[in-house]
């Protein structure tokens, strides 16, 4: 019927099919055509969408920050795909019957479709003629991506540009309040002089709360930056940090750079205020501090390792007052009497409570600050005795300043020290791997009861990679099972799964071109890519199988009826006729992500690593489906025709 229409059309306009009308077809026949078309592709479409949904499943099994960040994306797409699958197999055939009436314009009359067909037909014909060369070129491209995969940098999440910086200078533990204030004001004044800085807010010490354990030696300065269009030409964020870092150096002060939001997230999730932290556990603070210093010297100088700092476990200053019991006995005093005097003079004695409306305030009494800051004045604190009058505190106690830990950190019921550092200018995975190698060489054997643990964002990265390495193979097995249900053939399951490594080619090359490290966001992009790549492969095999079925129905099965040239021409026709629906599927995904690739605002740092491998991997997967898949299909059909003497037509049931 189609051939007759084509012949009739050729008399009017050679090369084009006649424009028909639905009135020429009886209603029952028209419904039957729509029903058969829906049955032909309904199962493939449904299982393709199901595969895309399952391919996203690994993201839902992640934990921590990555799950909270990406699960809304997965759930939104999953529910959208479920709705699309239901509409495709239920509503779409009904709407086709109701709305597709009037003129029936054939594919050959569609100018857009003709344009792509004219481009694709000579390419497909060339590839079918030079099949081995095309397969060899694909293998070369696939092997060429291996070095890029090996040298691909790794990180937990792409750094989000928050539009502000957090400067965290750390001084010696015994710094005074006035000195910490002076350092903070001096550095903030220098930073405020940069033209890219909008505002500066510094803080030393901590609030009077147990939730903030920052010592007075740790200063925090939030630097709000102006929009980048107001920056000096050619200046980047890393260049600005280096320039600031050079100008605010003060002897005895270790500078650390991060961002306010990620700093709080890191501290809440891992207890580390930098990108990476090395936790040293043990039972003695002095030994832990000695090991920490050795670790610092071992990893110092690694490329990309910045802001290296060892958490100070010693150097804290304590006022040590030791009461001499023989002397207080001679003066007729007891320990409580002397402790009461010390508490009242230095700590403060509660005299009363004042009520101001609904608020209550305690009134304390203690010596003035100039008497509490001077050791000699503390020694002269008067102590009242019953028989000998007033004696100085030094007459009954030894008063000195001794050193001790400024802060005791414990974790898992063990004492803990930390070596902190940030990573800039290099991927986190390479820096940590090099640091691990150096530490393993320097510490062949740790002292008994002491061990090292890596923390910070690297801890999250390892957790996410371990979980993905388990879940992704399981999901691939489930996808393979669904493909087998669709095709009832392991051979075609393997053919469809070939699209996965080919899709990887475009994704890997794009990551190298854009200088993007592998992270959880990139993994999400690849996971989304696998589902679409498998979907397009399933649809192409369904289209080609439908063409072979029609060929067998017209000519009969067997070598005596179908020759290799006839088979090749049929596959070429089948692939050519399906260019438009495949390109519509692919371009809908690509065009939807073009704004993400072109975005430069806040949040684009996280979204681009998702879109880059997806878009470029989808391009390579499309080339596989349009070029390599017909070639592989042709080779397998010729092999069946040669070995078995007949073609096997897949029964893709409704």
| Token pair recorded at residue 56 | 């996203």
Residue numbers in the chain where pLDDT is lower than 70: 1-18, 20, 40-41, 43-44, 107-108, 206-214, 601, 650-654
| Token pair recorded at residue 619 | 């391009």
What is the pTM assigned to this prediction? 0.73
Contact, 152 vs 517, CB < 8 A?
Answer: yes
The whole-chain average pLDDT of the chain stands at 81
Q: Is 31 helix (H, G, I), strand (E, B) or coil?
A: helix
pLDDT (0 to 100) of residue 7: 36
One DSSP character per residue, 190-215 reads: HHHTSTTEEEEEEEES--SSTT----
Contact, 323 vs 338, CB < 8 A?
Answer: yes
pLDDT (0 to 100) of residue 40: 67
Maximum pairwise Cα distance, the chain: 135
pLDDT (0 to 100) of residue 5: 39
Contact, 217 vs 171, CB < 8 A?
Answer: yes
Looking up tokens 């320990």 gives: 335
| Percent of the chain with pLDDT strictly greater than 90 | 1
What are the C-alpha distances in Å from 47 to residues 73, 234, 446, 481?
A: 21, 50, 55, 11
Beta-carbon contacts of residue 179 (< 8 Å; ≥ 6 apart): 171
Beta-carbon contacts of residue 380 (< 8 Å; ≥ 6 apart): 392, 393, 394
């Amino acid at each position: 019927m189609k051939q007759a229409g084509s012949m009739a059309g050729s008399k009017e306009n050679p090369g084009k099919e006649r424009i028909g009308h639905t009135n020429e077809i009886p209603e029952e026949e028209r419904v039957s055509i729509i029903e058969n078309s829906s049955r032909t592709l309904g199962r493939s479409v449904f299982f393709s969408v199901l595969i895309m949904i399952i391919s996203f499943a690994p993201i839902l099994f992640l934990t921590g920050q990555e799950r909270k960040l990406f699960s809304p994306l997965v759930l939104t797409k999953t529910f959208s795909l479920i709705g699309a699958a239901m509409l495709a197999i239920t509503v779409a055939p009904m709407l086709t019957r109701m709305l597709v009436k009037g003129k029936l314009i054939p594919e050959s009359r569609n100018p857009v479709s003709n344009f792509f067909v004219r481009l694709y037909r000579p390419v497909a014909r060339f590839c079918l003629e030079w099949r081995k060369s095309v397969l060899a070129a694909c293998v070369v491209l696939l092997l060429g991506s291996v070095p890029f995969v090996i040298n691909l940098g790794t990180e937990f999440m792409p750094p989000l540009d928050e539009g502000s910086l957090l400067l965290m200078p750390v001084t010696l533990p015994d710094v005074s309040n006035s000195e910490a204030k002076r350092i903070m004001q001096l550095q903030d004044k220098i930073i405020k002089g940069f033209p890219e800085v909008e505002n500066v807010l510094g803080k030393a010490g901590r609030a009077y709360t147990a939730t903030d354990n920052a010592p007075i030696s740790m200063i925090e300065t939030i630097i709000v930056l102006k929009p980048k269009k107001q920056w000096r030409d050619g200046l980047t964020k890393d260049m600005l940090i280096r320039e600031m870092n050079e100008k605010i150096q003060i002897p005895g002060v270790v500078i650390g750079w991060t961002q306010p939001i990620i700093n709080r997230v890191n501290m809440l999730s891992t207890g580390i205020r930098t990108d990476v932290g090395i936790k040293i556990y043990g039972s003695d603070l002095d030994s832990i501090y000695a090991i920490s210093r050795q670790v610092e010297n071992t990893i110092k100088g690694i490329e990309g390792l910045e802001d290296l700092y060892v958490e100070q476990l010693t150097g804290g200053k304590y006022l040590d007052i030791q009461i001499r019991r023989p002397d207080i006995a001679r003066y007729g005093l007891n320990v409580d009497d002397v402790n009461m005097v010390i508490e009242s003079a230095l700590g403060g004695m509660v005299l009363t409570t004042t009520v101001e409306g609904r608020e209550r305030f305690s009134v304390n009494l203690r010596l003035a600050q100039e008497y509490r800051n001077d050791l000699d004045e503390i020694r002269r604190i008067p102590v009242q005795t019953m028989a000998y009058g007033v004696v100085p505190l030094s007459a009954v106690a030894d008063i000195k300043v001794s050193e001790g830990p400024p802060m005791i950190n414990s974790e898992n019921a063990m004492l803990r020290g930390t070596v902190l550092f940030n990573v800039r200018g290099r991927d986190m995975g390479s820096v940590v791997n090099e640091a691990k190698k150096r530490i393993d060489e320097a510490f062949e054997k740790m002292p008994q009861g002491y061990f090292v643990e890596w923390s910070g964002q690297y801890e999250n990265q390892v957790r996410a990679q371990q979980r993905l390495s388990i879940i992704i193979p399981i999901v691939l097995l489930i996808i393979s099972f669904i493909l087998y249900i669709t095709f009832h053939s392991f051979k075609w399951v393997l053919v469809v799964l070939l699209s996965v490594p080919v899709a990887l080619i475009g994704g890997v090359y794009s990551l190298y071109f854009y200088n993007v490290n592998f992270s959880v966001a990139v993994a999400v992009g690849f996971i989304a890519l696998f589902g679409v790549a498998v979907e397009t492969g399933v649809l192409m095999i369904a289209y080609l199988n439908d063409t072979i079925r029609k060929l067998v129905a017209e000519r009969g099965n067997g070598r005596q009826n179908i020759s290799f040239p006839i088979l090749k021409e049929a596959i070429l026709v089948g692939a050519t006729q399906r260019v438009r629906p495949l390109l519509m599927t692919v371009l809908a995904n690509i065009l939807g992500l073009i704004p993400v690739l072109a975005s430069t605002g806040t949040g684009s740092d996280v979204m681009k690593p998702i879109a880059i491998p997806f878009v470029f991997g989808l391009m390579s997967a499309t080339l596989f489906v349009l070029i390599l898949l017909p070639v592989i299909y042709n080779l397998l059909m010729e092999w069946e025709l040669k070995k078995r003497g007949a073609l096997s037509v897949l029964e893709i049931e409704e």
